[in-house]
Chains A and B, each alone.
Chain A
Amino acid sequence: MDTKTLIKDAKARFSHNSAKAYLKEKYNSKLIIAEQGGLWRADAQTIALLSSLSSQFTETTVLIDTFDNPVQVDIVPLLESLTTLYNNVMTEWYSEWTELENKR
């Protein structure tokens, strides 16, 4: 039996809350990257801090990575990596979210 028939026969309802939770789980894990001896999450806070530091022409800084270790990093390369990762993952996330929203 194919899944469409299964859903119809079971009178199952699409769960938007579960879809949201699944997408969050899936894409949050993709935002993690190992770089310059630390493990980083490409989130708004880290990107904003790096962006702010780079605009002050600072070349290196010390950040606390997701393992809670202080790591000395080169700001610009890390900012570039995190920004690229963030954009790619969020674009995918948005695209799949839009697809699921259309099921409403």
Chain B
Amino acid sequence: MDRIRKQTVSRGVVVFAFNSSKYNYVEMAEYCARRADQFLDLPTTIITDEESAQTITYDFDNVVIVKSDKSNTREQQVWINKGRYQAYELSPYEETLVLDVDYIINSDKLLKTFDYSDSFCCHNRTEMLMYPEAPQEYLSSYSYNSLWATVIMFKKSDRAKQIFGTLEMVQNNYDHYANIHSFVGGIYRNDYALTLALKIVNGHADVPSDYIPWNLVHVGKNTSVYANEVDSQIPTDGDYWDFNTEFTVMFDHWKNSKMRKEYVTIKDMDFHIMNKDLFEGIMNG
């Protein structure tokens, strides 16, 4: 008689969060982790530094302390976003979703990504909410269209290891690649580094299965987003949460030098907020 061996594969979410003088990224990571638990039923590991770890209040699956690289700046502020390549080595899971903390999970859609690839996938196209004609981003006029490091699914494999190893190499030689691809190298961007790393690993060809087959939905410029309700804890200090999945998106529509505000209500849809102030507004109501 044939025996069926049930294989259990460990899966989880990994987030990187390093507090800055302006934003509490750990709090954002906690918001993201609660939603990963609710909608994806996945545990979350946070990768952070000693200082930021002091502010953790959520019961993460794992807390991994690393030395943060503070060599990147944006808008005259230290922006700790380097070191994403460490996700491969530091993830305790065989199958991992690496998420930006400002990605709002409102559905179980991301679970599908585990079915799409044996090694690695990320977004290669974006959609701006209420601004569908927004062009895709390119590294420069002479280079590739940007991939997005906001959501990365990888499975422990030689190929994924190679991609993250190459990501480290690109990070260490970022100015050189900025020079070759004619983009501004002053500010390190994970999206650009990932684009280059994946292209190098693939011999500068496209591998369709590396791309998540739907668009990454952004809330972009001239667009605001507000939660219709605040996530509430039940009871007030309890373990259960009632999660809001309805949001109002407002867009400043400019026509003939006149601005008209338009809005739409969305529900059960994952999206990425670029504006951290808006994100804090959603978290705190």
A residues lining the B interface (CB < 8 Å): 2-3, 6-7, 10-15, 18-19, 21-22, 25-26, 28-30, 32, 34, 39, 66-68, 96, 100
Contacts and interface: CB of A to CB of B under 8 A. Distances in A.
A15 B269 contact: no
Contacts of B264: 14-15, 18-19, 22
Contacts of B213: 29, 32, 39, 66
Contacts of A13: 260-263
18 contacts: A2-B228, A6-B250, A7-B250, A10-B250, A11-B261, A12-B261, A12-B263, A13-B261, A14-B264, A15-B251, A18-B130, A18-B249, A19-B264, A25-B217, A28-B214, A29-B215, A32-B213, A100-B265
A26 B269 contact: yes
B132 interface: yes
B71 interface: no
A80 to B, nearest CB: 18
B262 A12 contact: yes
B10 interface: no
Contact of A67 (B112, B209, B253): B209
A96 B266 CA distance: 10
Interface size class of B (residues with CB under 8 A): 20 to 34
A18 B262 contact: yes
Given A3-B248, A32-B213, A25 B127 contact: yes
Interface centre among B214, B227, B268 (most CB of A within 10 A): B214
Interface in B132-146: 132
A7 B226 CA distance: 11
B235 interface: no
Contacts of B112: 32, 34
A18 B248 contact: no
B160 interface: no
B203 interface: no
A76 to B, nearest CB: 21
B109 interface: yes
B129 A22 contact: yes
Nearest to B215: A25
B208 A15 contact: no
Given A10-B250, A22-B269, A30 B109 contact: yes
B212 to A, nearest CB: 9
Nearest to A34: B115
Contacts of A68: 208
Contacts of B250: 6-7, 10, 12
A39 B226 CA distance: 35
Nearest to A1: B226
Given A15-B264, A19-B264, 13 more contacts: A3-B228, A6-B226, A7-B250, A7-B263, A11-B261, A12-B263, A15-B263, A18-B251, A18-B262, A18-B264, A22-B264, A34-B112, A96-B267
Interface in B238-269: 248-251, 253, 260-269
